[in-house]
Structure formats: C-alpha cells, structure tokens
Chain A
C-alpha cells in the first residue's frame, strides 16, 4: 500500500533557530498518528509546512504520491487535506450551519455562484447538516458560531474541516482547554469520525490519555527533531523519550 503522506528530510529555520530539522516520516492511509513533544518542539510549525502555510527550506513533502512542496494552502487543501486549529478558527458571525456549509460548497466548487441563496444548494446543505448531526451540533445549527461554548467551537472547527471531505485530517490539539469529561467525549468522537468519514488522522496533543488512547502511531518531536516513532507501547517504553519528555508521569 502506498503511503498517503511522506515527509523527506524537511528542514525549516527562523533566522538562526532550527524549528524543523531533518524530519522524515510517512503516514499510511487509515492510520491515526499523534505528534507529541514539549512546547516549542516545532509541532505546529510542522503542520504549517505540511499545509503549505509555511514553505520548508529543504526537503520534500508528498501527498498521495505527488510532490506538494511549494504549493499554496489552497492547492493543497483542494487535493484533499483538511485542518482544524489549536486556537479555534471559525467564522464567528456566521451561523454554525453556514460555517460548515461554506466548506461543503468549497468542496463542490460552488463558492463562485452569485445568484441563488446558499439555502438552495441542497447537496452542500444536506452534507453540512449530516456533519453537524455526527458532531452533535445540529440543535445549534442556526446560532451564530461565537455564541457556542468553547468545546463546541472546537468541534465546529473540526466539522468545518470535515466539510471538505479530506483524505487526511490534521488536528492541532483537539482537546486543549477541555475538561477531563469533555476530553473523554472528544476522544470517542474522534474515533467515531475517523470510522464514519474514512479518515487518515494526524494530530498534535499534550493530553497523554488522548494520545495513548487513540493513536496507532506516536511520533515524538523535540527541538525540531524526530526523537522517536513507534506504537504507543514502544514510545511508552522508550528510555530516551521517557527522560526527554514523558518523565515520571507515565512510568
């Protein structure tokens, strides 16, 4: 089976600071992989390079067997990549429905239509409702997005990315700022979405229960370098990782 995403020796520096140094890994279709690492390890920067928001200095990134290094975010998204953000990124004044509906319209390439109201675009509207249904947000579809609780806004962010029907979905700290109960629910939700939407998932997370609860592959990033990569059990028992990052917490 061909890998969905391949990073080959990706390098990035901001001035003298090497934020990504020689990172290589590949994701197989259908995997759930997690990137962990201390603050400042370069996790979000790596996401930014994968999604074309930042350009790597060196190395290459391939998605579905095609080189995407140097493409714009739009072009990469159009090829089937979606992203939800660490700091929730929504359209606050629009309704919950319209947030997701815009993504669905974008996927169907209908955002240039100028004459019919959005509610008449049945395919996009039905799809948006279906996504809100699986997220449990359908009851709030007509509320402006800014009125939602923090946790629900995070879900909406993910729902917006799902509207693109991505093959690969990147989640940047999906459970940050949530209570332990909310985290538990979000974990179950992510697993369910993964099955329901046939996703390949790559997520950044600090919450170890989430990481070891749902990831099949864990990658540890430290100071821009890939310190280790393996199954949750391998990572948990890797002495280097334990001293560098996990510490006493899981031992």
Chain B
C-alpha cells in the first residue's frame, strides 16, 4: 500500500515537471511563455496561501501585502540600485517578508476567525494606500516599468526555467512541510485547537510560524512576477489580489495540496481564453465559482479524487 502510494507520488511529480519543463518547446510565442510563467507563479502563491487557509484554517485576506512586498523589493531596487540588484532584491524581499510577517503576525494572531481575516485585510490595504500615495518613492499608480532581469535572465525562456526551478523547489519544500510533524501539528490545530494545547503545543506559535512561512513564499512569487511582467503596479498590493488567490484555492480545492495550483491554472486560462473573446470574462469566473461552491464544494482536485475513489470501489465491488 505504501509502495503504490510512493509510485503514484513519483509518477505525479514526473508528469508535473515534464509538462512545465517541455512546455516552451511546444510554444510559438512569447505570450504563451508568459502565460505558462504566470501559472507557475500564481500556482506557488496559491499553494503557499493554502498552507494558511486549507491546512491551518487561517483565512488571510491580506496575502497581497507580501506578494506586493516581493514585487516592490525587486522593482524599487531596480529603479534605485540598478538591474544587477535583481537577485539580491529577491533575497531582500524574503527578509522583508520574514520581518513584516512576524511583526504583523504578532499583532493579528491574537484574534481568530473573521476578526483575523478582517485584520489581514486592514494591514494589506494600509500598505497599498501608503504605496499608492507615496508617489515620489514608489511611482504611485504608475508603478515601475521596464524591469528587465539582468544577464541571461533577460531572455524569456531562460527566465521561465529560472522561475520553474524556484517554484518547483518551493512547492517541493511545502509538500515536505505538509507531511512533516509541523504539518501534522498545523492540520490538528485547524481541527481541534484546544486539544493541541492539551498536547502541550502552542496554538499561537504554530500560527505565527505558518503565517511567516506562507508570507515568504508569497513574497517570492511577487518578486518572480516582477520579472515576468517587466513591470509592477499597486494592484499587486490591492485586496483584489488577495481575493484572487482565495478564489483560485477554493476553485482547485483547499483540502488538496495541489488543488490551489490547479485552481490558479484554470483561472488564468479562463481569463486569457475568454478574455480574448469578451470583456465580460469576470462573469464566466463568477459563474464557475458559483457552480463550484454550490455543487462541487471540494474543488476540482478534491471532487476528482472523490470520483476516482468511487470508481475504484465500484470496480472493486464488481470484482469481489
């Protein structure tokens, strides 16, 4: 049983890596590479977000703060220090995310449930507002344009593989985390926080820990996005960005590790395919979300697995 599970996991990773590694060979335009790149980055952002929401049960409506933080770390370094600061700037964004998530986290994990959600939203909007108003430094709603990664990373395809490596490493790490003792602790925290206390573990400490980890990967996703779009904008800090990552996670399924990644891919593809035909594409996303939440609440990946299990037990029943 353990063996077949290990084979399945290995097979899944191989397919996952091959699809994204070989994708550029089949692509004819820069535009398609950008799209694949965005799927990778939003996928990472959503998977990291879901460590908070699906795993630990903390609904943050302010992860745009960290996504934008990473993006602005790269953008501002580019603007004031030069293109050669691209890689160090990603590191700076990560350090910034650690510091800010601990400071903000210490303030907001004192409350739980909807109060936590509202506070994350408030902090996110606060940072957005500052960035928006501080025109001289941040460029306000003009954002920062012309961010071309230095050296070989300036090449679309090279940058794509650079992103692919970082996203794969990050997702692999988060996957390990889910199955580790800390991952078990976080899942148990969601199901029964009182019992966790009676096992001698701190609820707050674990919440702060995962808030920090999730925010770091959000910042990484933000920095990588700056290089894909070659520009950054205050929208990356706006609450709609936080909302989008929630939609992606719910669509893909918050009970599944890869659910949010698939959700991100589907939403981005809908935006592109439907957006090319009509400006009413948000309507399609809205309808899709409604159908999902009402009829398929476990999300795409969750419902697919449920169906798979049912088919298997049906087939097994016929045999026996």
A16 contacts chain B at the CB level, 8 A cutoff: no
B187, B195, B202, B209: the one within 8 Å of A89 (CB): B195
- How big is the B interface, by class? 20 to 34
A101 at the interface (CB under 8 A from B): yes
Residues B198 and A94 in contact, CB atoms below 8 Å apart:
no
A249 to chain B, nearest CB (A): 33
A117 within 8 A of B: yes
Q: Tell me if A173 is interfacial: C-beta within 8 Å of chain B.
A: no
A83 — which chain B residues lie within 8 A by C-beta?
A: 198
A74–B193 alpha-carbon span in the complex (Å): 12
Contact of A115 among B176, B185, B198 (CB under 8 A): B176
B182 touches A90 (CB 8 A): no
B176 touches A102 (CB 8 A): no
- A93 with B181: CB separation less than 8 A: no
A26 within 8 A of B: no
Contact B200 A77 (CB under 8 A): yes
- A138-173 with Cβ < 8 A to chain B: 160-161, 163-164
Query: Which of chain A's residues have a CB closer than 8 A to the CB of B173?
Result: 115
**Is A111 located at the chain interface by the 8 A CB criterion?**
yes
Report Cα–Cα, A107/B198, bound state, in Å: 12
The reply on A118 being an interface residue by CB < 8 A is yes
Complex contacts, A94 vs chain B, CB 8 Å: 184, 187-188, 191
Least Cβ–Cβ distance between A121 and chain B, in angstroms: 7
Smallest beta-carbon distance A187→chain B, Å? 24
Count class of interface residues, chain A? 35 or more
* Contact A117–B180 (Cβ < 8 Å): yes
CA distance A123 to B202 in the complex (A): 22
Say how far A52's CB is from chain B's closest CB, in angstroms: 9
Residues of A within 8 A of B29 (CB): none
Check B194 for interface membership: any CB of A closer than 8 A: yes
Task: State the majority secondary structure of interface residues on B.
Answer: helix
CA distance A115 to B177 in the complex (A): 6
| A interface majority secondary structure | loop
Given A94-B187, A102-B188: A89 and B194 interface contact (C-beta under 8 Å): yes
Contacts of A164 in B (CB 8 A): 199-200
Contacts A77-B200, A102-B199, A106-B201; is A111 near B182 (CB within 8 Å)? yes
Q: Is the CB of B182 within 8 A of A114?
A: yes
Of residues A82, A110, A111, which shows the largest number of chain B Cβ atoms within 10 Å of its Cβ?
Answer: A111
Q: Which residues of B contact A77 (CB under 8 A)?
A: 197-200
Instruction: Say whether A245 faces chain B, with CB atoms less than 8 Å apart.
Output: no
Query: Do A113 and B182 contact each other (CB < 8 Å), given the known contacts A77-B199, A89-B194?
Result: yes
Known: A83-B198, A164-B200. A89 touches B192 (CB 8 A): yes
Most chain B CB neighbours (cut-off 10 Å) among A85, A101, A112 = A112
> A103 in the interface, Cβ–Cβ < 8 Å?
yes
* A78 interface residue (CB < 8 Å to B): yes
Which of A121, A160, A161 is B181 in contact with, Cβ under 8 Å? A121
> In angstroms, how far is the closest chain B Cβ from the Cβ of A89?
5
Q: In the complex, given contacts A73-B197, A89-B198, A118-B180, what are 15 additional A-B residue pairs having Cβ atoms less than 8 angstroms apart?
A: A51-B198, A74-B197, A82-B198, A94-B191, A102-B181, A105-B185, A107-B200, A112-B181, A112-B182, A114-B177, A114-B182, A116-B176, A117-B176, A117-B180, A164-B199
A–B pairs, 7, beta carbons within 8 Å: A73-B197, A91-B191, A91-B192, A103-B199, A112-B209, A117-B176, A164-B200
In the A-B complex, the 10 residue pairs with the smallest Cβ-Cβ separation, listed nearest first, are A77-B200, A117-B179, A91-B188, A73-B197, A106-B199, A89-B195, A111-B185, A78-B200, A113-B181, A91-B191
Using CB atoms and an 8 Å cutoff, list the residues of chain B in contact with chain A.
Answer: 173, 176-177, 179-185, 187-188, 191-192, 194-195, 197-202, 209
Interface residues of A (CB under 8 A from B): 51, 53, 72-74, 77-78, 82-83, 85, 89-94, 98, 101-103, 105-107, 110-118, 121, 160-161, 163-164
